Structure 1
Amino acid sequence: MYHDTLDPEQIQAWLYDQADEFGPSWSRVLIKVFIKRHKQVIPLPRPRVATSSAEPELSFSQLMHYVSQTNHKNLWKEAFKKYLSGSALCDSKSNPVIGFVSCESMMREIILRTYGCPIIRVDVNTANTLPDGKSKKYEPHINILPAVCAIETKRNFLLIHQPYIAHSLEDCVTFSPALLGSSYMKPLFVIYQLIQAMRTMHDRGMVLGDITLGDILITDNLWIQIVPHLEDNVHDEPRTESQNISATLTEPETPTHLSGDAQEVTYLSGSEGCSPRGKLHQGVYNRDRTQGRRPGDHESRDRKSSRCDSDVVSCELKLLCELWLRGQLSNFDYLMALNRWAGRRYGDPTCHYVVPWVTDFTHRNGANWRDLSRSKFRLNKGDRQLDLTYDTTGTLNITQVPHHVSDVLSEITYCVYLARRTPRSVLCRYVRSKWVPAEYPSSIQRLQEWTPDECIPEFYTDPTVFQSIHEDLSDLEIPPWAVSPQDFIDKHREALESLYVSERLHHWIDLTFGYK
C-alpha cells in the first residue's frame, strides 16, 4: 500500500475502520481483474437490433401463431439432427464455418457491450485507448454496476467500478431478512430489476453469468446493481472428435489426495458431494499452523488449501452435520464451515470466525473444562449482568425485541487477541488511544479469564500469534506445561477434539449460531 503522506500502518488503520467514512481524500472503488488467455474462442452472437417503440404489439392470436410456428420449426430441427445428421454427407458446404477470434479481442468486445467504457491500454504495443466511436455504441444498463474505465495490461484486464456499494443481496437475506419479507412487492421489485438486466444482456448477445446473491449489490431503497461474470461469455474453441479421443487416451488418472504438506486433504467431487471416506479437510489448517501464517493473510495460503476450504464449505450443511455426527469431520473443520455458512468473514474484525474456549489452561490435558451450555459472556459477567442487558434493551426501545449480547466477538477483543501481530497505530485507534503495553493481557491464561468473548481459530492453528512485533510488548506467555507455542497449539487443538468437548459442543453451537 502506498500513500503520499501516510505510512502503511496508518493506511491499514483507516481500512480497518469500515464503519466510518474515509473523508474527502479517499474514494472507494471496486476493481475486478480478468487474466488474459492466449487462445482462440467463439465470437459473440450479433446483438439484437432494437425495435422501434412505434411498432404495434402482437395480438393474442398472432402471438399464439408465432409460438406454434416456432415450435414446429424446432421439432423439425431436432428430428433432422436425430435421424438424418448421422447419414448425411459431411462436406464443407453443409457444415457451418465459425470464424474464431482471440480471447483478448473477445474480452474487449464484452467490456464494450456491457459497460461502453473506454479501455486504457498500458504496456501494450497499440493505441492507448480504443476509438471513441466504438466505446460510445453501448450504454450500460441502469441495474449493472457501471465501470469508470477498463485498464488493459500485458497480462490482465482491470475493471474500475464506481460507485462503491457496501452491501449485497446476500448480506440482506443473511442479516436483515425482514427487509424483504415485510412485503411481497419488495422481492418482486428486486426480481423485476434482475430480469430487466438479463434482458438487456441477452439482447446484446451475452449473459450475466453464474452470479450469486453476493454479486447483486443493493442500496437502502432496494435498488440493485449487478456485477456480472463476464468470463462466462467466453467459450473455448470446440474440440474435434479426434481431439476428444486423444485427450481421453492421454488423460492421467485423477489423484485421490493432494501432494506435499496437505496430503491428507481429500478431493471432493462437485457431483458427488462430500465423500464420507476419510477425514475431510484435515491438514488444511495444519498447513497454516506449521508454516506460521499471519492471521487474516489470505494471500499466503496456497491454491490447494483454498480449493479444499471451498470444497468442504460448499457441501450441504445437512451432509456436513451428518459427517460430524459420525466422527468423519473434525470439530474444528465443522466450526469453520458453520462460520462460513453464517456469513462471517475470516480476517474481518467486525465478523471474524469464532470458536469456543474449552478450558482454562490449568492442566495440560484440559481437566478444568468450560461449561459449553453457557455463553462466555455469562460465565465471565454473571447472570445479573446478562439480565441487565436484556432489560435495558426493552426499556430503551419498545419496537426492538429484547435480546442478550448482540455479538460473540467485538472488534476491540479481536485486536487485543492479536495485539502481538497488529500494528501499534491500529491498536491505538481501536483499543486505547494511548499506547500502554502493560494494559494488554500478558498470557493466554489471563486473556481467557479477562475476555467475555469467544475464542478465535488462530489460537488453535497459528503459533506466530504469540510472538510480538513490538519491542516494548512482550510475547504472549503460554501455560507452564507447554514447551513452545507449537506445543500449546497442538494440545489446545487436542482439547477441542476431545470426547468431552465433542459430546457437549452442540450446546455451544446452538448458543452461537442458533438451533433453527
Structure 2
Amino acid sequence: MSLIDTLLRDLLFIPSHHQRNISKSRAICLVHNDWIQSVRQKNLHDIKWTRDIGRDDAALLLAPSHQKLPRNWNRVCIKVIKKSDAHCKRLFNGPFYNATPVSTCMEHLVQNARENFRNLWTSAHVTYSNEDVDMLHRAEDQFSNVVQTYLQRMNPNIYITIPDNREDHVFSKQLSCLHGNNTIPILAVIETVSVFFVVQPYIPCCLRDIVCYSPAIFDTSHAKSLFVLYQILQAMTDYHKLGLRAGVLNLQNIRVDDKLWVHCTSVQLSHLMNDTVRNNISTSNSSTSVLNIEDNEKPCTRTLTDSNSSPFKSISECSIEDSFRQTRSISRLSDCENYLDDASDVMNQFQFLDIPLESLAKLTEDWVHHRINNFKYLMYLNHLAGRRLGDPNHHPVLPWVMDFTSSHSGLRNLSMSKFRINKGDSQLDFTFEAMAELGDDGEHIPHHVSDVLSDITYYVYKSRKTPKHLLCSYVRTKWVPNEYPQNIERLYQWTPDECIPEFFTDPTIFSSIHEDLPDLELPNWCTSAPEFVEKHMAMLESEQVSINLNNWIDLTFGYKLSGSSAVKSKNVYLQLVDQHNNLTNHGVVQLFSHPHPHRLSSDKTLSLLPVRVKQTELMPGGQTSERDAVQTESPKIKLPVDFDPTAVLDHFEALHSFASETTECLPPSTQKEKVKQT
C-alpha cells in the first residue's frame, strides 16, 4: 500500500478500494454524497456507507472509461502535497505583467508572444549578468507557507484544518483570488500537520483523448480547435493576473468535457519543487521528501551525463536501461525468475509510469539490442498508447504466443492478428466487402476488427476472480458456468482478442472464487499455476518469439493499423476509420508509421571489428604449419558461414529509417555522435 493510500484512508476515511492512483500524488476517489456534505460542514468522520460498494464494483466505477455512476455517488480527484521546511522562492506578488483586457484568440496570441519575448530577454539577463532583476521574486520562504499562499489564491470553497482544535486558516483579503471558468475548481483544501489534501471534481477526458481516440472532432471544424485554444490562453491569463504560473500544460492535464469546455488542472507545484531542489542541493533529504509525493505530470527532461551514457538520456530513460542491467548483473536466479521479478516490478509501477513519447526511439533501440526484455518493452508501449491496468475497455494487451499443446512448440503466428486467426480470412473478407457494398453512408464502414480487447473478453479472462453479478452484466445475463472456457487451451481457441499481462505474471488468476465454476485447467505439461506462469513467461522471452515480435507490434501499435497495409493485413479497426465525433477516452492508438525493426538474434553480435579467423601456430621441429599450407594452396581466408559483413550497415539503416520516419528524430546513439562532431 502506497503512502497516498494510507493518508486517504486514515485521515479522510476513504477506503483503499475506493481509490485509484493516477500518479504518485493524485488519486481518483469514489465518495458518497454524505462524505461531500461532511466536508462542506467541516465535519469529517468515518462514514458507514463504504460497505455498500464492493472491491470489484468500486474498481469498475473508478475506471476512467466508465461513465455512469450509481445514484448519490461521485468521483473526485484528490491531490496530496507533503509539507516541508525546505525553502523555495515566494510567489510573485502581483500580476506577472500589465496585460490589457483581451477578447479574441488573436489578441491572446499577440499578448503571449510579447510576454515570451520579454521573458527570453529576462532569462538572458539573469544568465549573463550578475545584477538582480527582481529581489522580491528572489525572496525565499518555507515551502509549506508558499503552498498556503498558492492555495489561497486558488480560491477554494472550503478550507479545513485537522486536528479540529487548530485555528482555521484565514485568507488575506488584500490579494485577489482565482475566479476563472477554465480551471478546475477546488472543492476543499484539508490541511493536516504533515500534508495538504486538495479535493477537486474529476473530469475523465482530456485533450490527449481527443487527439488519440477522437481526432475527427477537430477535423469537422477549425472553429472547435480555436475555441479550445482560446480557453487555454484565457486560463493562462487568469493565472498570470494572480502572479501564478500555469505550470506544465500538456495534453494530459488539460481536461475537456463533451461540449469542449476546457478545464486546466489547477494545482501544479512542479516549479516550486524545482526551486526547492536548486536551493537545497546540499540537503537532498528534505527536497527528496517533497518530490516523492509530487505529480508525474510533466515529462522528465533533465539530463544526466557520465562517461557511459548519452547526454540526451533523461532520468526516466536511464532508469529504464539501468534497472534491467542491474537486475541481470546482481541476481543469481534463473532467467525465468529474473523475468518474473522484473515483470512484477513493471506491473506494480505501471500506474506511476511517466515515459515521454520522445523516449520511444530510445526504448526501441534498447529492445532491439536486448537491453530491456520483451515484457517490459510491450508494457511500455501499452503505457504510451494510454492503456490502464484494471480498465475493462482499455486494459494492456500482450500477444498470445502459443496454443498450449506443448511447452516448447505450437507457436502462434505473430504476423496475423488474433482476430484474424480466430475468424479466418474468408469471414473477414466477407465482412469487409459487404460493408463496402452497402455504401459510405456513415453507418456501414468497411472494417475487419472491432477492438483489440473488448470488455466481454476482459471479464471472461478474469471470470474466476470476478463476482457473478458483474459477469452477468457484461458477459451473459444468465449465469451458466459451462459457457465459460474450462481450460487455457479452450480459452485460446475461443477468444478473438489478445492476451493480458496477468496470464504471464499472476498465478492466482486461474483459481476460482465460485463454487460451481472450477479452476481454469492448465496444460498437462505443467503441475501448478506458478510453473505455468514461469514457462509462459519463458516462451514470451524466447528467441523464437523475439525474432517475430516486431510483426505483432506492427499489427497492434504500428503501421499496419492504417492505409493499404491495414487492408492487406486484414487489420482495419472500426474505431480508426468510423470518423466518430463523440468524445471517448479509450481505443486503438497507432504509435508507429514505419515498419518496426526486428530484434537482433541473441547468438549474434554486431561489431565494427573484423571477424577473427583461427590460425594454428608453427609446429615444433621445423614442421610446416597449417597456416602456411593454406596460404600455399589458396590465398583466400575462410570466414564463418553465417558471417555477414553488411549486417551492421543494414541494421543501422533500418533503425535510422524507423526512428526518423516514426518519431522524426535520429536514434540517440546517432545524436551523440552528431553532437561530438559539432
TM over 0.5: yes
- Whether the 8 Å contact between 1:288 and 1:461 is mirrored in structure 2 is no
TM-aligned CA distance change 1:154 to 1:398, over 3 Å: same
| Counterparts in 2 of 1:233 and 1:47: CA distance versus 1, 3 Å | farther
Does residue 102 of structure 1 match 2:142?
A: yes
Aligned to 2:163: 123
CA distance in 2, matches of 1:35, 1:440: 47
Q: Partner of 2:199 in structure 1?
A: 160
In 2, the alpha carbon distance for the partners of 1:27 and 1:75 equals 45
1:46 matches 2:88: no
Q: Which amino acid aligns with 2:422?
A: N
1:15 is aligned to 2:61: yes
Cα–Cα, structure 1 residues 482 and 245, in superposed 2: closer, same or farther, change >3 Å? closer
Contact 2:60 2:66 in 1 (8 A): no
Q: 1:203 aligns with which of 217, 224, 241?
A: 241
Give the alignment partner of residue 256 of structure 2, picking from 218, 237, 249: 218
2:433 is aligned with 1:387: no
CA separation of 1:283 and 1:352: change in aligned 2, threshold 3 A:
farther
Structure 1 residues 101, 74: closer, same or farther in 2, change over 3 A? closer
Q: Does 1:473 align with 2:517?
A: yes
Of 382, 394, 399, which aligns to 1:351?
394
Matches within 5 A, 1:2-81: 3=49, 6-9=52-55, 11-12=57-58, 15=61, 18-19=65-66, 21-48=68-95, 81=129
Please name the residue that 1:255 is paired with. none
Change (3 A) 1:430 1:291: farther
> What is the 5 A alignment of 1:265-276?
271-273=312-314, 274=317
Determine the C-alpha separation between the residues in 2 that align with 1:26 and 1:310: 30
Residue 486 (1) aligns with residue 486 (2): no
Q: What secondary structure does 1:34 align onto?
A: strand
Q: CA deviation at 1:227?
A: 0.3
**Contact 1:418-1:465 within 8 A present in 2 as well:** yes
Change (3 A) 1:388 1:150: farther
CA distance in 1, matches of 2:527, 2:448: 39
User: Which structure 2 residues correspond to residues 222-371 of structure 1 after superposition, within 5 A?
Assistant: 222-234=260-272, 271-273=312-314, 274=317, 280=324, 289=340, 301=348, 310=354, 316-365=359-408, 367-371=409-413
Superposed displacement of residue 152, structure 1: 2.0
1:411 corresponds in structure 2 to: 455
Offset from partner CA, 1:367-392 (integer Å, 9 cap, x none)? 11212222212221222332343245
Aligned to 1:495: 539
- Of 460, 463, 480, the residue aligned with 2:504 is 460
Q: CA deviation at 1:193?
A: 1.8
The Cα RMSD (Å) is 4.3
Structure 2 distance, partners of 1:484, 1:19, is 35
Deviation at 1:340, TM superposition (A): 1.5
Bigger drift between 469-478 and 415-424 goes to: 469-478
Whole-Å separation in 2 of the counterparts to 1:279 and 1:238: 24
C-alpha separation in 1, matches of 2:214 and 2:233: 23
Partner of 1:89: none
Q: What is the SS of the residue equivalent to 1:429?
A: helix
Number of aligned pairs? Answer: 464
Equivalent pair of 2:59/2:390 in contact (CA under 8 Å): no
Mapped contact 2:153–2:177 kept (Cα < 8 A): yes
Cα deviation code 1:404-424 (max 9, x no counterpart) = 112111111111111222233
Amino acid at match of 2:534: D
Residue 358 of structure 1 aligns with an amino acid whose one-letter code is V
Amino acid at match of 1:33: V
Question: C-alpha displacement at 1:208, in angstroms?
Answer: 1.5
Contact 2:351 2:388 in 1 (8 A): no
Counterpart of 2:421, as a letter, is: L
In structure 1, distance between residues paired with 2:164 and 2:144? 12
Tell me the distance in 1 between the aligned counterparts of 2:59 and 2:124. 66
Q: Which amino acid aligns with 2:382?
A: N
Given that 2:62 and 2:75 are in contact with CA atoms closer than 8 Å, whether structure 1 keeps it comes out as no
Alpha-carbon deviations, 1:137-193, whole Å to 9, x = none?
42421111112222223333222223x432100111111223224444433332222
Query: Does the CA contact (< 8 Å) of 1:468 and 1:476 recur in 2?
Result: yes
CA contact (8 A) 2:343 2:375 kept: no
One-letter amino acid matched to 2:185? P
Whole-angstrom CA distance in 2 between matches of 1:157 and 1:119: 10
Query: In structure 1, how many angstroms separate the alpha carbons of the residues matched to 2:480 and 2:188?
Result: 47
Q: Decide whether the 8 Å contact of 2:60 with 2:391 is kept in 1.
A: no
- Change over 3 Å in CA distance of 1:428–1:326 after alignment to 2: same
User: 8 Å contact 2:95–2:243 — kept in the other structure?
Assistant: yes
Rounded to whole Å, the distance in 2 between the matches of 1:239 and 1:75 is 16
Give runs of aligned pairs for residues 78-89 of structure 1, distance below 5 A.
Answer: 81-82=129-130
Query: One-letter code of the match for 1:217?
Result: R
CA-to-partner distance for each residue in 1:314-365, whole Å, 9 max, x for gaps? 6622222222233333222221122122222222110111111111111111
Task: Give % identity.
Answer: 36
Whether the 8 Å CA contact 1:47–1:203 is kept in 2: the answer is: yes
